[in-house]
Structure formats: structure tokens, C-alpha cells
Amino acid sequence: MQMADTKGYFKVLDSEFPAWLDDYINTKELQTQKYISVTCGTIYSDLFAGEKFYSSLDHSVAVSLIIWHFTHDKRQALAGLFHDIATPAFKHCIDFLNEDHISQESTESLTSDFINKSADVAELLDRDRITLAEIADYHIYPIADNDAPKLSADRLEYTLANALFTYQLLTLPEIKELYDDIEIEQNEDKEIELGFKTKALARKFTKISSQMSVLYRDDKSRFSMQFIADLLKRLQDEGKITTSQLYDLKESEIIKIIENSKFQKAFQTWRKSQKINISKTPPKGVYYVHQKAKIRYIDPLCNNKRISTICKIAKKAIDKNLSYDMDNYVFLDFTLE
């Protein structure tokens, strides 16, 4: 499958890139996000097949484009653009570091602080007569974000982008077919929500998103995210890296710190491994991971009804996702001592 490029994907999300967005994208605070991979560090290991570096900034811009496409509201689009501004290197691995691996929201409370401390962003907001309160929390806009299993711009974006770039489960023409079928509908809570017009496409999206939900938390993913988190914790304890550096340094720069530490051998083993080991009992003499992770799933609307209520195939895909077993002990042949 030929790899699609980011610009082509962005053009599907909105055929004419809104020029006013560029000034915000080019602020220092957002530009740091282009050095953070959305794959939470897994791109650096041969355990995973994905090779495309799709950044946290790419994700944020794409979320903003989706919101703009459906609302043409600058405030909502900017809320989407800035929603991950407080994301540190290795993304959700830091939630594992913060022992927030189930909800994975531990850095979101810093969003307002990161926006507020930027003089450049403040100047742009003042120019456009937009207040900080109108963009600092994208949760207030249901098209931008809502509670699972509803479909929001954020959930839609990472599903499409990961299916296209990371797992190559969809082609760009298939992305366009799905995207063009989406409209704003009303859900069971009388709120607006993104939904599909065509049952077959809603089913297809649900099957793909359910499949990826398992991939996000499968044995090798849980192991890798906790492993990176534990590496960073040990480096913090030894004074080799600080919390602020997780925001200030590129992932490549942090990797150099790891490679120059006593954990270099363990890190290289993880990077070069092509298969993870599992056990039903605690393995001895090795570093292992044994815990659950956040369950992501989407049950989208189709003509104002949940697809699971009108399609048995979609419901089966969702149920299979929700029943995925995360009880294995997962390990590689090294220690962190």
C-alpha cells in the first residue's frame, strides 16, 4: 500500500486550508508538538510496523480542520488546535508515569497554563477578539470532544490518521469516502454529534475503530508504554532528566539521554525486538508489565441512532473490542536494575 502524505490527508479534511490558522500553528508553543509522535513512542521499536512519523502537531491541526469543516467557528477550531498543547514527549506514556493509564488525561489540566503563558498566542487572540476561556477547554464544544463512545472530532481524527498512517488499514480514498458521509446529527442526549448518513459506512468505521482500539492496548503496546514510563521515572530519580525537560526536549533528544544511561541495553533490546513474550504467571528475573490500560471505543451515530442498535455486525465488533483480555504478564529478556 502506497503511503499517503499528510498534506493530502489534510486536504480531505478541509479542501481549502484556512489561512488564518497558520499564525497560531506557527507559535513556539505549538511548534514543539511536531517533535512528539502520536504513537506514544512505539514507533521507535521493531515490535511495531508503523514507520510514518505523524506528530502531535499534525493531530492537533487535523482536529482543528475537522471542527472548522463542520462548524466554521474559529473559537471551536482553536480549542481543537490547542487541546494537546500540554502534551509532553512520548505522549500517553506520561500518563502511565503519572499512574493515570486508565483515563489517560493527567496532562490535560495544564492546557490553560500552557496557552496563558504564551505572549504570541495572547496577541493573536486579542487581534481576533477571542478570549482564553473560549479556547482553553475543548470539552465545552461537543463537536470537538465528548464522552465515549460518542464520535467527536478528536476521536474521529486519531481513528482516521492511525488507520491511514500507523496501521495502514485504510487508504486515502477510503478515508475520503467515510469522511464525506459524516454530518452533524442529534444524539440520545439531545446534543449535536458527528454521525454517519450511510449504515454500511458507519459499520465499516466501527469495525476499523474497534480493531484499532485493541491495538492501542494490546500486550506489546501496554508493555512499551509502561516500559518508557518506567525508564523515564528511573532517569528522574537519578537526576538525569526533569519533568520540565519532557516538555522542552525533543523525543530524539530524550532517547539520546536514555542511550547514554545504564538502561541503554534494555532500551536497545526493546527497540530491536520483533516479538513480545507473555505469561499467565509472573515471570522471574526479567522486567515485566501486568496491568490494564484505557479502553477506547466508538459507537457512532447513524441517522441519529447508535450503530450498535441497528447493526448486529457493528455491535459484535464493539463487544469483541470491549472483551479483549489484558490479564497477561508481558515481558522481554532484560531487567531495569
Of 49-58, 257-266, 273-282, which range is least confident? 49-58
pLDDT digits (tens, 9 = 90+) for 180-237: 999 999 999 999 999 999 999 999 999 999 999 999 999 999 999 999 999 999 998 9
Q: By percentage, how much of the chain surpasses pLDDT 90?
A: 82
pLDDT digits (tens, 9 = 90+) for 8-53: 999 999 999 999 999 999 999 899 999 999 999 999 999 998 778 9
Q: How many CA atoms lie within 13 A of 213 on its CB side?
A: 25
- As a whole number, mean pLDDT of residues 287-304 equals 93
- Alpha-carbon distances, residue 211 vs 31, 87, 171, 176 (angstroms): 31, 25, 16, 19
Q: How confident is the model at residue 104 (pLDDT cuts 50, 70, 90)?
A: very low
pLDDT of the residue at 3:
57
Q: How confident is the model at residue 1 (pLDDT cuts 50, 70, 90)?
A: very low
pLDDT of the residue at 330:
97
Q: Residue 95: enclosing H or E segment and its boundaries?
A: helix 93-97
In angstroms, the CA 100 to CA 93 distance is 9
Write the CB contacts of 127 (distance below 8 Å, at least 6 apart in sequence): none
Is domain 6-206 classified as CATH 2.60.40.10?
A: no
Is pLDDT above 80 for 272? yes
**Judging by beta carbons within 10 Å of its beta carbon (0-12, 13-18, 19+), is residue 168 exposed, middle or buried?**
middle
**Would you list the domain boundaries of the chain?**
6-206
Q: How many CA atoms lie within 13 A of 82 on its CB side?
A: 32
**CA angle (288 as vertex; 248, 233 as ends), nearest 5:** 25
Look up the pTM and report it: 0.93
Averaged pLDDT of the chain: 92
Q: How confident is the model at residue 102 (pLDDT cuts 50, 70, 90)?
A: low
The single-letter DSSP state of residue 4 is P
